[in-house]
Structure 1
Amino acid sequence: MDKRNLTRMAVVALGLAALAGKALWQRSHARPEEPGADIVQKAGERGFMLGSLAFEACELGQSHSAATTSAFCAPMQVPEDRAHPQGRRIALKLALARSTAPLAARDLVVLLAGGPGQAATSAWPGVRASFAPLLERRNVLLLDQRGTGGSNALTCARAADEGSDELPFDPGRVQATTRACLAGVAQHADPRFYTTTDAVADLEAVRAALGSPRFDLVGVSYGTRVAQQYALHHPEAIRSLVLDSAVPNDQALGSEFAINLDAALQAQFAACAADAACAKAVGDPWANLQRLRERLRAQPVDVAFRDPYSNAPGTRRLGERSLAALARMYAYLPETSALLPLAIARALDGDYASLAAQMRMLERQMEELSESAMQLSVVCSEDADRAVPNPADAGTLLGSEFVETLRAQCAIWPHGNRPADFTQPLRGDLPVLVIGGEFDPVTPPRYAERIASTLPRSRVLVAKGLGHSVMGRGCFPKLVARFVDTLDAAALDAGCIADFSATPAFIDYNGAAP
């Protein structure tokens, strides 16, 4: 064979090798075929079509802030009562946060907000940073659950003196307030149709309109119930599940709030009692809390303080109920729970101003949830008959008042239907990552373990020292994104969560160190 033929053969061989290599690269780097549609946006246009929905540029606001976050919004309407589709229709607020990738994956990450009563679109500006690693490859869908935010919200403004007068629990007064709330809500909604089951049907209707993509559901707190119920009835629509601070399907919301709070506070306070500097500065926080509770139960106090937002002088009455509410909500986050031992010790010394100011801050932060009547539609339909007063709650910080209030409200509030399989645990071969905090006062780690026990492809990650809602902490955003990419919870390298630890309690308002 002459040199020219050898040269030609070598060129052909190199060409074939290059083509084979290119084909191999394309196969290994190709986007897996997924149902759904690509976002097609033409140059100069401010919107795009996804499935049958037309998205246009919009801004998502955040409570008590002038700042907004850019997104794309699309109109969507559904029947309020699906058994009577010709009846009232309600508009759902639907938004999409665009991926930073030129061509994102077709599966959509869906944020399912907590509460019940929080709206996904108003929560988004505060949690967007937690989703940054997910946005590198995927779009994030935000749907305000019916009854919240921009989806025909069921709201009832709180009375000016509600919760501040420290009056004893009165079922009659609770029911009168509930009737007034119901009268307002009934002007534009039938509360029977604002349950988790209705929300699941809405989400499936949205998926169909989007071209039936598969979903990566990220549920937080109550949102984990929505995620599990959706997966229970639409497993074919699920690509992955991330459950942050999860509640099992068979757990009645509110039934264990009292015992869970006491357990979390005792665990958090134990570190202070065991630390010489902290114990010297504030004593035994748990014993102090009991002493302060007894003092305020016997005699509520009127406290003069400066409003932390306006600096205007004001007064408010503090009693046992205020103390319990503050301790409960401050136990959610390690930064605020670290303040409690000092605030309690100062109050025992007669300085109640910091407690009053913190109560004012808490009320503002919880405004959206406290005014949401959608939570009554959920809890009265799904939990009230299962939330039975527990005699053991009598000695706890919260006592049995939460369950008693719930039952009084639900005697008035209209009930929707709870499916027969509602309390069944989620089962199957779905990839599931369950994450939580060691000191969670409302959905403790044992709930996560219970959920995972029926899901063979699940994994539970619990971070030491953290409380409720942990996805935005430390390495969790990257871990969640890695899981959604690989769908392999077992192989996830989660060694970074060993870096988490409890926030040391403050010994003065400069911090934990002398």
Structure 2
Amino acid sequence: MCATLGPGTRPAPKDETPSAATTALRAEPRLTGSLPCSDSAGFTCSYLTVPLDRGGGAPGSLRLRVATADNAAAPRGTLLLLTGGPGQAGAGLLPRLRQRFSYLLDDYRLVMIDQRGTGAGALACEPLQAEVGSSDVTVPTPEAVRECARLLGSNRDHYTTADTVADLEDLRRALGVPQWTLDGVSYGSFVAQHYGLTFPHRVRRMVLDSVVPQDGPDALYVAGLRRAGWTLRQACQEQGCGFDPAAALADVVRRYDNGVGVFDLIVVASIVDPKLTGTRFVPVLALLRLAAQGDPAPLNEAIAELRGGGGTPPGQYSAGLHLATLCADLIHAPWGDSTTPSGQREPAVDQTVRELRTDQVWPFEPRTAVGHGVVQGCRHWPPSRPNPQPPHPRLTMPVLLINGDRDLSTPLEWAVEQAARTPHGKLVTVPGMGHSIQGRNPVGDRAVRDFLLA
């Protein structure tokens, strides 16, 4: 049983050195406005108030919505579930996600939070939101990116992952728990790792689902581009499709110069229907075959239908927060990190295309690696304060990493890379699965159950 400890009754461990992520220790955080959650019986919804600028240079504060299960005396303590993006709401997803994690709720006290810039306090950039919604791959116009940066002003510098890590430490102290267990999905796995690398003695165990490596994603998505061919061939073999879809894809993107759109389509398909059967999403294999045979119209229509984020409100997924955080966090962009002047970014992108070999990204082309939304969005984002790196190089607590072998958003190669540098980490690869495993696959759920309930 996890004993409670009031905030301020114990000095911070020595490894929790003062930094952008530990300035929260200067105040006594607390949860306010507590009421039963209207959409989730057995949970209390409240607010955590945190400073906008952890360095104290800019005034203002943020109210982050928190949903907390009422079983404060749960035998295995508190489980913080971190959602993805960056940009996805947290507490607002509780009604759906509590079903996925129901097998843990008798043993753990589940907590969810709307990370800064999401949920009710979402950063709203209307043109950008309308263009890309929740997509990493869809390319925004330079005008929409610059307009978003203008709307946010200098406050855009206060939405790094390190700022969120500091918010989570405030939340832990407000809950009065000395340690907790973290479960992060997609970008949430990156947040969880950075918290664990900043406050290692505060974490009992950690689950990383659909893993973003602790150094951040490869801005070029080389592993995901390369993995697409393997994923298509696996699906074709299962369905007896009668052609080589990877070779067809290579032919199509060269003939019609639509690599980014095709990649976007396949990424979404791999999330919705990782076996690419076409029963729950567009029939990707059939569309590629038609395009390779000289009829690209159905494929291009499917790509066009996918574009645009008009149906995704910022409170559900903030495209503005996505860019503000992602562009600050990237340290492996073609131009370096977020401090690089705007005028130096385009030459760096051009140089990257010249240096990439086709075999590194096949069945796509090198220009696809720099043409998608991550590079093109951050290419036009103004220079900003970079995400401060955590003080510790390795996660020291027990860590379970789970990843689908057909995940193109956070490809399996990323999880393998992270597992290799995690001393007490165990990687479980889930066959036939795409992005976001828990609650959607019995192999993944069994691994989590064994890890968290053993």
Q: TM-score range by the shorter chain?
A: 0.7 to 0.9
Q: Which letter maps to 1:331?
A: S
Aligned counterpart, 1:511: none
SS in 1 for 2:192: helix
User: Which residue, 180, 191, 195 being the options, matches 1:230?
Assistant: 195
- The alignment status of 1:330 with 2:269, answered yes or no, reads yes
Q: Which letter maps to 1:135?
A: L
Q: Distance in 2 between matches of 1:451 and 1:321?
A: 27
- The alignment status of 1:481 with 2:449, answered yes or no, reads yes
Q: Which letter maps to 1:405?
A: Q
- The alignment status of 1:220 with 2:192, answered yes or no, reads no
Q: Distance in 1 between matches of 2:190 and 2:212?
A: 6
- The alignment status of 1:437 with 2:368, answered yes or no, reads no
Structure 2, unaligned stretches of length 5 or more? 7-28, 133-137, 279-283, 336-348
Aligned counterpart, 2:244: 284
Q: Which letter maps to 2:266?
A: A
Q: Distance in 2 between matches of 1:160 and 1:112?
A: 22
Q: Deviations over 1:270-310 (max 9, x none)?
A: 235546x6233xx221222233334433xxxxxxxxxxxxx
Q: Which letter maps to 1:265?
A: A
Do 1:174 and 1:408's aligned partners in 2 also have CA atoms closer than 8 Å?
no
- The alignment status of 1:58 with 2:37, answered yes or no, reads yes
Aligned counterpart, 2:119: 149
Q: How does 1:57-456 map onto structure 2 within 5 Å? A: 57-60=36-39, 71-84=43-56, 87-98=59-70, 103-105=73-75, 107-150=77-120, 152-158=121-127, 162=131, 174-186=141-153, 190-251=155-216, 253-257=217-221, 259-274=222-237, 278-280=240-242, 283-297=243-257, 320-335=259-274, 337-339=276-278, 340-347=284-291, 348=293, 350=295, 352-353=297-298, 356=301, 360=305, 363=308, 368=314, 371-383=318-330, 386-388=333-335, 389=349, 390=352, 391-392=355-356, 396=364, 398-402=368-372, 404-410=375-381, 412=382, 415-421=384-390, 425-428=393-396, 430-456=397-423
Aligned counterpart, 1:5: none
Q: Which letter maps to 2:228?
A: L
Question: Which one scores higher on RCO, CA 8 angstroms, separation ≥ 6?
Answer: 2
SS in 1 for 2:85: coil
Do 1:245 and 1:468's aligned partners in 2 also have CA atoms closer than 8 Å?
yes
* Offset at residue 54 of structure 1 (A): 5.6
Q: Distance in 2 between matches of 1:416 and 1:135?
A: 39
Q: Which letter maps to 2:252?
A: L
SS in 1 for 2:319: coil
Do 1:158 and 1:370's aligned partners in 2 also have CA atoms closer than 8 Å?
no
Do 1:438 and 1:464's aligned partners in 2 also have CA atoms closer than 8 Å?
yes
Aligned counterpart, 1:509: none
Q: Distance in 2 between matches of 1:139 and 1:236?
A: 19
Larger mean CA deviation between 362-371 and 200-209 belongs to 362-371
Residues 1:123 and 1:234: Cα distance change in structure 2 (over 3 Å): same
Cα RMSD over matched residues? 3.5
Residues 1:425 and 1:467: Cα distance change in structure 2 (over 3 Å): farther
Do 2:87 and 2:118's aligned partners in 1 also have CA atoms closer than 8 Å?
yes
Residues 1:338 and 1:74: Cα distance change in structure 2 (over 3 Å): same
Q: Distance in 2 between matches of 1:237 and 1:225?
A: 16
User: Which residue, 405, 421, 437 being the options, matches 1:470?
Assistant: 437
Residues 1:406 and 1:446: Cα distance change in structure 2 (over 3 Å): same
SS in 2 for 1:400: helix
Structure 1, unaligned stretches of length 5 or more? 1-31, 38-49, 61-67, 164-168, 298-318, 487-514
Do 2:34 and 2:46's aligned partners in 1 also have CA atoms closer than 8 Å?
yes
Do 2:127 and 2:144's aligned partners in 1 also have CA atoms closer than 8 Å?
no
Residues 1:34 and 1:387: Cα distance change in structure 2 (over 3 Å): farther
Do 2:125 and 2:319's aligned partners in 1 also have CA atoms closer than 8 Å?
yes
* Offset at residue 96 of structure 1 (A): 1.8
Do 1:114 and 1:222's aligned partners in 2 also have CA atoms closer than 8 Å?
yes
* Offset at residue 82 of structure 1 (A): 2.1
Q: Distance in 2 between matches of 1:267 and 1:52?
A: 48
Q: Distance in 2 between matches of 1:358 and 1:405?
A: 18
Q: Which letter maps to 1:278?
A: G
* Offset at residue 117 of structure 1 (A): 0.9
* Offset at residue 139 of structure 1 (A): 1.9
- Percent same amino acid among aligned pairs? 26
* Offset at residue 407 of structure 1 (A): 4.3
